[in-house]
Amino acid sequence: MNKTYNELHITPSGEYPLFLDMIMSLNDEAVEELNGTLIVRSEEDLSMLRFGIETFAEELSKLLRKTIHVDIAQYVKENEDWIANYRNSIQPLHVGDFYIRPSWIPQENNKKNIIIDPALAFGSGHHETTYGCLLLLQKYVKEGTRLLDVGCGSGILSIAARKCGAIVDLCDTDEQATHSAKENFELNDEVYETLWTGSVQKRTGEYDVVIANIIADVLIMLSSDLKQAVKEGGYLILSGILDKYVDKVENKFSSMTLVERFQKEEWFTLVLKRN
């Protein structure tokens, strides 16, 4: 990559589509259209293209018997390393004992490292709801805990539970999420028992801990299945609950004991116990 690139801003006074066609035919690079101006960027010298456009404007004026001006501004700009910039924008995160980081950031030895690379599935750790779940699950998950993660997204919560010694099952209705979770388990050198595309209804067993970070309406819709998935004496961790819906969710789960409520910004995470 060169240190600089060239940019032409071409603004014709008329016959815009003809200029667009002509520039596209003369030039291999993409052409940006911005409010009547055509922008061409290239690391190559653009002076021949500029000359061609000016000549075209003169010839077109003669042919159409009217004056067509073309304003051309030329700039030399600094090339940026966009990939490096993007990578630098992704920050690792501490949540209690966990250290969530992309694969290119070195590990912290005294922490439970979780590697999550940017992808389409939800769950980088930075959202308040994921944060709440990560913080609370460290209190309720012990060696040998059987955990079900409903709406696993990237798989971040199940991977975190594995780091605390849990045996995990996970599911998501979105196939892209289950695919991403599978990849993230491999990336973290962790294993799950069962992973499926679908929801809590497809489970076969009961769990010591069930965790579901989904929006309030869906939690309410899934309430009886979520409650039934928890063993007697087990815990249900719910998140994705905006402050204005927290009472509604608590009412729906009132047959369980509310053990803990965690709030970050306008998002709530609840811990409920099955008696």
Ligand X SMILES: C[S@@+](CC[C@H](N)C(=O)[O-])C[C@H]1O[C@@H](n2cnc3c(N)ncnc32)[C@H](O)[C@@H]1O
Residue 12 Cβ vs ligand X, minimum distance, rounded to whole Å: 48
Rounded to an integer, what distance in angstroms lies between the CA atom of residue 157 and that of residue 151? 10
Q: Which is nearer to ligand X, 27 or 129 (CB)?
A: 129
Binding flag, residue 169, ligand X (CB under 6 A): no
Q: Does 207 bind ligand X (CB under 6 A)?
A: no
- Decide: is 177 part of the binding site for ligand X (CB under 6 A): yes
Query: Cα torsion at 191, 197, 201, 207 (round to 10°)?
Result: 10
Which position among 53, 137, 147, 156 is part of the footprint of ligand X (CB under 6 A)? 156
Name the segment binding ligand X (CB under 6 A); options: 19-27, 48-56, 99-107, 211-219: 211-219
Interacting span for ligand X (CB under 6 A) from 15-23, 90-98, 166-174, 244-252: 166-174
Is residue 218 packed enough to be buried (19+ CB in 10 Å), middle (13-18) or exposed (0-12)? middle
> Rounded to a whole number, what is the distance in angstroms from the first to the last CA of the chain?
63
Q: How far is the CB of 89 from ligand X (least distance, A)?
A: 19
Cβ neighbour number for residue 83 with a 10 Å cutoff: 8
Q: Is 172 annotated as contributing to ligand binding?
A: yes
Which region among 36-44, 57-65, 168-176, 226-234 touches ligand X (by CB under 6 A)? 168-176
d(CA 242, CA 266): 6
Q: Measured from the CB of residue 126, what is the shortest distance to ligand X in angstroms?
A: 9
Is 79 labeled as ligand-binding? no
Task: Specify whether the CB–CB gap between 236 and 254 falls below 8 A.
Answer: no
* 60, 123, 161, 252: residue in contact with ligand X (rule CB under 6 A): 123
How is 123-185 classified by DSSP, letter by letter? --S-SHHHHHHHHHHHHH--TT-EEEEES-TTSHHHHHHHHTT-EEEEEES-HHHHHHHHHHH
Could you give the string, one character per residue 226-255, with x where binding to ligand X holds by CB under 6 A and - elsewhere? Answer: --------------x---------------
Task: Give the separation between CA 80 and CA 58, rounded to whole angstroms.
Answer: 36
Cβ neighbours of residue 199 closer than 8 Å, sequence gap 6 or more: 150, 151, 171, 173, 222, 225
Which residue from 4, 173, 194, 224 is in contact with ligand X, where contact means CB under 6 A?
173
45 known member of a binding site: no
Binding residues for ligand X, per CB under 6 A? 122-123, 129-130, 133, 150-153, 156-157, 171-174, 177, 199, 213-214, 218, 222, 240
Annotated binding site for S-adenosyl-L-methionine: which residue ranges?
130, 151, 172, 213
